[in-house]
């Protein structure tokens, strides 16, 4: 790995922003991020607020990697097909949310959200299928919320809507492996997300044959080149996804997707469409179902307009400082 940039240099290039969302996602209405004006281009540090410094420091490694140097791998494509991402919204809001994504052929629907029943999920998937027609592709993301029996039951109930895959149906690798055995006669694949990005060993899921494909995110995996190595070692198809990023984070995701030897599935890099504002001009949002590959160009006005309040700016600079210290002492 390359030398760690000095903390003062990193801090002097930092801009903390708070970007409003159009639709509540998980529990957030605003997405906060540190944008880094790196020597190789703009980069983004935006681990979720509840993450420990140890976990967030991997996101910092990715941000410094992307902002301070180019990937060693060549880009193989210039356009990345993406899915629309549908949060757990009421039925009468689905069409409105999907319309923000333009004409994406694939929709990823969040299911098993707190406070929702399987009947709510069935209704949301049914309405989505009705809206996008038979040619559209539907995938689900349960974020590990089902136990094994609930997951099996849900897949059996929902397969009638023609599902491409279900992402992280259960939390653990053994559960995913057992679910695959239980549903092997059903034409629904199992994808692993948290079992890759939050695991001590991102390859454990592949070794256990617990997933048909991997969802990979550049930030939690420590950057583009490290994520490429994980995919190569896993030997499974991969879908690149994001963490509700600004355009800068999506540029990092697109850089990763552009370098995968093969890209069979649409990527989860369209969530720029869920932001009510953005710091790039042009914004990196889906156009005709795809996003372009390349560095984001920042809009100076937007950096000022979206600049985070002083207390939040201080919080993020302190967090960045602590994560930098973790990287400085970690074996490299």
Ligand X SMILES: O=C(O)CCC(=O)c1ccccc1C(=O)O
Binding positions for Mg ion, rule: CB under 5 A? 141, 167, 193
CB nearer ligand X, residue 121 or residue 299: 121
- Beta bridge partners, 68, equal none
How many positions of this chain bind ligand X (CB under 6 A)?
12
Q: Which of 108, 124, 217, 319 is catalytic?
A: 217
Is 193 marked as a binding-site residue? Answer: yes
- Distance between CA 220 and CA 56 in Å, rounded? 8
- Name the closest residue to ligand X (Cβ): 268
Q: How far is CA 209 from CA 71, 167, 178, 234, in A?
A: 29, 15, 10, 10
268 in contact with ligand X (CB under 6 A): yes
Q: Which of 43, 58, 71, 83 binds ligand X (CB under 6 A)?
A: 83
179 in contact with ligand X (CB under 6 A): no
CB nearer ligand X, residue 108 or residue 129: 108
Kindly state the tokens that stand for 212: 């048909």
Q: Which of 58, 195, 271, 313 binds ligand X (CB under 6 A)?
A: 271
Contacting ligand X within 131-150 (CB under 6 A): 141, 143
Q: Which residue has the tokens 């605003």?
A: 30
Partner from ligand X, Mg ion, none binding residue 128, C-beta < 5-8 Å depending on class: none
Question: Mind spelling out the 3-state secondary structure of the chain?
Answer: CCCCCCHHHHHHCEEEEEEEEEEEECCEEEEEEEEEEECCEEEEECCCCCCCHHHHHHHHHHHHHHHHCCCCCCCCCCEEEECEEECCCCHHHHHHHHHHCCCCCEEEEECCCCCCCHHHHHHHHHHHHHHHCCCCEEEEECCCECCHHHHHHHHHHHHHHCEEEEECCECCHHHHHHHHHHCCCCCCEEEECHHHHCCCCCCHHHHCCCCCEEEECCCCCCCHHHHHHHHHHHCCCEEEECCCCCHHHHHHHHHHHHHCCCCCCCEECCHHHHECCCCECCCCCCECCEEECCCCCECHHHHHHCECCHHHHHHHHHHHHHHHHHHHHCCC
Partner from ligand X, Mg ion, none binding residue 244, C-beta < 5-8 Å depending on class: ligand X
CB nearer ligand X, residue 152 or residue 167: 167
The answer to whether residue 108 is catalytic is: no
Partner from ligand X, Mg ion, none binding residue 106, C-beta < 5-8 Å depending on class: none
CB nearer Mg ion, residue 10 or residue 192: 192
85 in contact with ligand X (CB under 6 A): yes
Q: Which of 58, 241, 246, 247 binds ligand X (CB under 6 A)?
A: 241
Is 121 marked as a binding-site residue? Answer: no
The answer to whether residue 110 is catalytic is: yes
Contacting ligand X within 180-209 (CB under 6 A): 193
CB of 244 to ligand X, least distance (A): 4
Show the site string, 96-125: x = touches ligand X by CB under 6 A, - = not: ------------x-----------------
Q: Give the footprint of ligand X on this chain (CB under 6 A).
A: 83, 85, 108, 141, 143, 193, 241-244, 268, 271
Give catalytic residue positions: 110, 217
Residues that constitute the known binding site:
141, 167, 193
């Amino acid at each position: 790995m390359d030398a760690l940039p000095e903390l003062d240099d990193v801090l002097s290039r930092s801009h903390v922003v708070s970007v409003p969302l159009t639709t509540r996602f998980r529990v957030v209405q605003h997405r906060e991020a540190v944008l880094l004006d790196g020597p190789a281009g703009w980069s983004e540090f935006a681990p979720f607020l509840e993450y420990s410094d140890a976990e967030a420091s991997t996101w910092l490694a990715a941000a410094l990697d992307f902002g301070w140097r180019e990937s060693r791998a060549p880009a193989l494509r210039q356009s990345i097909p993406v899915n629309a991402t549908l949060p757990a919204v009421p039925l009468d809001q689905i069409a409105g949310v999907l319309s923000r994504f333009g004409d994406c052929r694939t929709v990823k629907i969040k299911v098993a959200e707190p406070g929702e029943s399987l009947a709510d999920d069935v209704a949301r998937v049914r309405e989505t299928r009705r809206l996008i027609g038979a040619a559209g592709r539907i995938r689900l993301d349960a974020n590990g919320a089902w136990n094994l029996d609930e997951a099996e039951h849900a897949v059996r109930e929902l397969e009638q809507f023609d599902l491409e895959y279900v992402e992280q149906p259960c939390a653990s690798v053994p559960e995913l492996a057992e679910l695959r055995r239980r549903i092997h006669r059903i034409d629904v694949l199992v994808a692993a997300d948290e079992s890759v990005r939050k695991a001590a060993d991102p390859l454990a899921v592949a070794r256990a044959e617990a997933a048909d494909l991997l969802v990979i995110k550049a930030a939690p995996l420590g950057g583009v080149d490290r994520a490429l190595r994980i995919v190569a070692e896993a030997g499974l198809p991969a879908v690149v996804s994001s963490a509700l990023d600004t355009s800068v984070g999506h540029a990092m995701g697109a850089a990763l997707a552009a370098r995968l030897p093969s890209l069979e599935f649409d990527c989860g890099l369209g969530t720029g469409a869920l932001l009510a504002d953005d710091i790039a001009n042009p914004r990196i949002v889906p156009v005709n179902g795809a996003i372009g590959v390349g560095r984001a160009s920042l809009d100076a006005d937007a950096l000022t307009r979206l600049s985070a309040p002083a207390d939040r700016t201080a919080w993020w600079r302190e967090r960045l400082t602590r994560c930098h210290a973790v990287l400085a002492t970690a074996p490299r």
